[in-house]
Amino acid sequence: MAVAVNSQLNPLENAERQFSEAAARLKLDAGIMELLKRPRRATIQWLPVAMDDGTIRMFEGFRVQHNIARGPAKGGIRFHPDVSLEEVSALASWMTWKCAVADIPFGGGKGGIKVDPTKLSRTELEKLTRRYAADLSDLFGPESDVPAPDVNTGEREMAWIADTYSMHERRTELAVVTGKPLEVGGSQGRREATGRGVMICVEQMCKHLNMPLKGARVAVQGFGNVGSVSADLLARECGAKIVAVSDVTGALYNEDGLDIPALIAYAASHKKGIAGFPGGKPLTTSIIEYDCDILVPAALENQITSDNANSVKAKIVAEGANGPTTPDADKLLEAKGIHVIPDILCNAGGVTVSYFEWVQNRMGFYWQEAEVNTRLREKMVKAFGDVIAMKAKTDAESTVSLRIAAYMVAIQRVLRVHELRGMYS
């Protein structure tokens, strides 16, 4: 008996629906829509690894380059048991539009390996990462495809990739990957960049709505890098009150506000997440439905769907994750008057500082963190303003969401480069 599949949870289908709605608003013809929608290249790798017990195990890897008209493909590598070609293809397309919204000279790419990294030893994980990098060394490069961290990868894995690529090239090439340790050519402010970008977008949205951010009640789903940094900065720099937080181990709430630095320290020391933190009470209901002013979904895709969108109580949804809201849910949130800061804008801080890291690697001169943060703020504020301006312009004809306005900004920028470059055929 066939198992019914919930199509709204298909990330590639969702990405294409979002693109198609914006493209229709721009009145693009069918051929141009296909050109901009389809990935230029998708690869599948089978990666053999000699395990610690002497056995050989095969792992499935993926890399998709969606569009490189504006520059090298840019996008992270995730290690997760649910990674698929469809998911990576969707994420690659989102990267194209994210880079264009932020107006940085990259195209979109994404990669992943179908693996649970917690089940591998450090040695096995290094072998797998290096094999993946070696197999894709003909694609990777500072001028062609520049990976970065994503779910379950970080500075360590990026250092391994930089070293593997450099060994194959017989020279040290740091600009092949971003999100590296500072000692290996990383950038100041890179680790906090995505969360800082979320904070800046929330600031801008509150200003746009004339809504006070100081004292605003915030719930954060996902307490990894993006969620924890977003929570810390919103509380510390903006005076917001973080009243609920969740991760894979559970969820906590405290109506008086959680002590975020203490929670970060607790999660780091326990290495198992936030469960058991004494400064909060266990939350037994979905954090998506928690009564708050601002909701930051910073976990995985498809967290807000048509099944729970009507239960969202937040006034603002700031998408720290990629694709956390399905297109069906978008319509329901819009009907409720909830303001969604779309992922391709809200979490573009990470790729923006990745661009800064790439620039610094290529010129061999490194900026202080204050300069990185200043440049990031300028980029994010400009991007937010561009999207608001597009929405205002389009609303004169018919109302669009911020997500569709962001896509319209991005599509116009990518299309303009295609028009100027012409078509090689």
- Return the pLDDT at 423: 87
User: 236 in helix, strand or coil?
Assistant: helix
Catalytic annotation present for 110: yes
User: 424 in helix, strand or coil?
Assistant: coil
Amino acid at 372: V
Q: Cβ(289)–Cβ(252) under 8 Å?
A: no
pLDDT at 5 over 50: no
Beta partners for residue 50, in sequence order: 56
Which residues, other chains included, contact 174 with Cβ-Cβ below 8 Å and sequence gap of 6+? 162, 166, 180, 184, 185, 361
Long-range contacts of the stretch 34-39 (C-beta < 8 A, 24+): 35/418, 36/67, 36/411, 36/414, 36/415, 36/418, 37/93, 39/64, 39/65, 39/66, 39/67, 39/89, 39/92, 39/93
Burial letters for 386-418: b for 16+ Cβ neighbours within 10 Å, e otherwise? Answer: bbbebbeebeeeeebbbbbbbbbbbbebbbeee
pLDDT-based confidence at residue 3 (cuts at 50, 70, 90): very low
Which residues, other chains included, contact 126 with Cβ-Cβ below 8 Å and sequence gap of 6+? 160
The domain 39-186 belongs to what CATH superfamily? Leucine Dehydrogenase, chain A, domain 1 (3.40.50.10860)
User: 58 in helix, strand or coil?
Assistant: strand
**Of 408, 325, 350, residue with least CA distance to 230:** 350
User: 400 in helix, strand or coil?
Assistant: coil
Same fold, 39-186 and 187-425: yes
CA 90/CA 375 separation, integer angstroms: 28
CA 239/CA 237 separation, integer angstroms: 6
Crossing angle (nearest 10°) for helices 85-102 and 369-395:
90
pLDDT-based confidence at residue 4 (cuts at 50, 70, 90): very low
Q: What is the pLDDT of residues 292-341, one digit of tens each?
A: 999 999 998 899 999 999 999 999 999 999 999 999 999 999 999 999 99
Q: Residue ranges per domain, the chain?
A: 39-186, 187-425
- Return the pLDDT at 397: 80
Amino acid at 337: G
CA 360/CA 187 separation, integer angstroms: 8
- The class level of CATH for 187-425 reads alpha beta
What is the rounded average pLDDT of the residues 25-36?
A: 95
- Return the pLDDT at 7: 58
Lookup result for tokens 């010129």: 363
> Greater confidence, 272 or 323?
323
Element (DSSP H or E) covering residue 245: strand 241-247
> How long is the chain?
425
Lookup result for tokens 């573009």: 348
What is the rounded average pLDDT of the residues 192-196?
A: 97
Lookup result for tokens 């008057």: 337
Active-site pick, 37, 74, 98, 110: 110
pTM of the prediction?
0.94
Question: What is the token pair recorded at 352?
Answer: 């923006």
Crossing angle (nearest 10°) for helices 225-236 and 260-270:
160
Does the CA dihedral 204-219-375-92 come out positive or negative? negative
Lookup result for tokens 């319209």: 408
Mind giving me the DSSP string for 304-316? B-TTTGGG---SE
Q: What percent of the chain has pLDDT over 70?
A: 98
**Of 54, 53, 49, 56, residue with least CA distance to 124:** 49
Tell me the pLDDT of the chain averaged across its residues.
95
**N- to C-terminal Cα separation, the chain:** 46
Lookup result for tokens 């990026």: 158
pLDDT at 235 over 90: yes
User: Looking at residue 338, what DSSP letter applies?
Assistant: -
pLDDT at 2 over 50: no
User: Looking at residue 183, what DSSP letter applies?
Assistant: G
Lookup result for tokens 């939350």: 283
